[in-house]
Amino acid sequence: MTSDIPKVVPLTCHGHSRPVTHLSFSSTVEDEQYYFISSCKDNNPMLRDGITGDWIGTFLGHKGAVWQARLSADAAISATAAADFSAKVWDTYTGECLHTLQHAHIVRAVAFPIQANPQVLATGGAEKKLRIFDLTRSSGGGSPGSNASTPPLPPSNANPATENGVASYEIGAGVHGGTIKSIVWNQDYNVVTTAAEDRKIRWWDLRSRHPVVEHAVDGPIGTCELNSLATRPNDSGILTVAAGKSVYLFDGVQPGRLLKKVDFGYDVASAAVNSESARLVTGSANDTWARVYDLNTDEELEVQKGHHGPIWSVSFSPDGKLYGTGSEDGTVKLWKACREPYGLWR
């Protein structure tokens, strides 16, 4: 059986000059619009229209490879994690850098809460520290939406550290045994998930600052993402982890609850799911193809060819109508994932 979606040419987004390390979509904002941000080893993360792939702007200021970039739920601010030992927070409307959060080592991961108008940011990387920054407690200028109410950070007996005037808290000191490669904020504001090079997925309670549960995986972790459809009402979401030759699917609400493990004959570098259409897309470290599977039967439905390097990041749009792939070849491609006319495929 093959996919019932007719083959169409993907949209190719040029502009980066080095490998693309990560891409991330915003939630749907006004008028069914959404955006995505791509991070790259060329130091210059880019913001694009999520439906057409059109370039909107480049965030200039990092002095090293940008490993991860994320947009807030309302797309008003973005955050980037880089090899120059810093994370930066940006105003997506003006391109202005609002905060530079200095670290003692390479920053690999950033995350906002999936609630709208976040004013906190989680960071992690080669320091092996999960840190939460309170962007409201800043001596600098505010960011868009800074008047919006956001749940306060959990209280603690320890006084917060400050970095460039921004208060920060370390969660679970000394627990991570390797570089933190990804951070995901759960639907429960008090729970954050980390994926580290010690091959452990951990769910953290920000109030106690201890892991609620941890799950060991069988190989090196590639990507760890909560599908963007999880922001829809009554959709608990799926936490998708690519590790070794497997993809692990965890319940998006209940920490540590493994829904399914899918094994493959190749090293899985990246993975994303669309639970509404029951599709799983993977990228491999061994070839240049994106493979699409039936989420229920594990049957391979199609192989998308077009990249010229391994695919390090895969992500579905918030409406599930397309997915993006970021590659070693320096491009992002957008692939149609629906039967009806959509976007530029009209």
Per-residue pLDDT of 200-219, as tens digits, reads 999 999 999 999 999 999 99
CA distances from 126 to 86, 115, 182 (A): 11, 27, 11
Give residue-wise pLDDT tens across range 84-134: 999 999 999 999 999 999 999 999 999 999 876 668 999 999 999 999 999
Pick 263 or 227 by higher pLDDT: 263
CB 257 within 8 A of CB 248: no
Domains and their CATH numbers in the chain:
1-34+220-346 (2.130.10.10), 59-216 (2.130.10.10)
- State the average pLDDT over residues 2-8: 66
More confident residue, 215 or 157: 215
Q: Which residues contact 227 (CB under 8 A, 6 or more apart)?
A: 237, 238, 240, 252, 272, 273, 274, 275, 316
Tokens 């891409």 locate to: 23
Contact 86, 107 (CB under 8 A): yes
Q: Please say if the pLDDT value at position 53 is more than 80.
A: yes
Please tell me the predicted confidence (pLDDT) of residue 182.
97
Residues 33 and 51 sit within 8 Å (Cβ to Cβ): yes
Is the predicted pLDDT of residue 236 greater than 90, yes or no?
no
The string of pLDDT tens digits covering residues 273-308 is: 998 899 999 999 999 999 999 999 999 999 999 999
What is the band of 139 on the pLDDT scale with cuts at 50, 70, 90? Answer: very low
* Residue 247 pLDDT exceeds 90: yes
> CB 139: neighbour CB atoms within 10 A?
8
Cα dihedral sign, 251-254-256-259: negative
> Which of 55-59, 165-169, 234-238 has the highest average model confidence (pLDDT)?
55-59
Q: What residue type is 290 in one-letter code?
A: A
Task: Look up residue 295 and give its amino acid.
Answer: L
**Per-residue confidence at 242, pLDDT binned at 50, 70, 90?**
very high
Host H or E run for residue 337: none
pTM of the model: 0.91
Residues 6+ apart with CB under 8 A from 294: 278, 279, 280, 301
DSSP state of 27: P
Over 90: is that where the pLDDT of 3 sits?
no
Residue 220 confidence (pLDDT): 97
Decide if pLDDT at 144 tops 60.
no
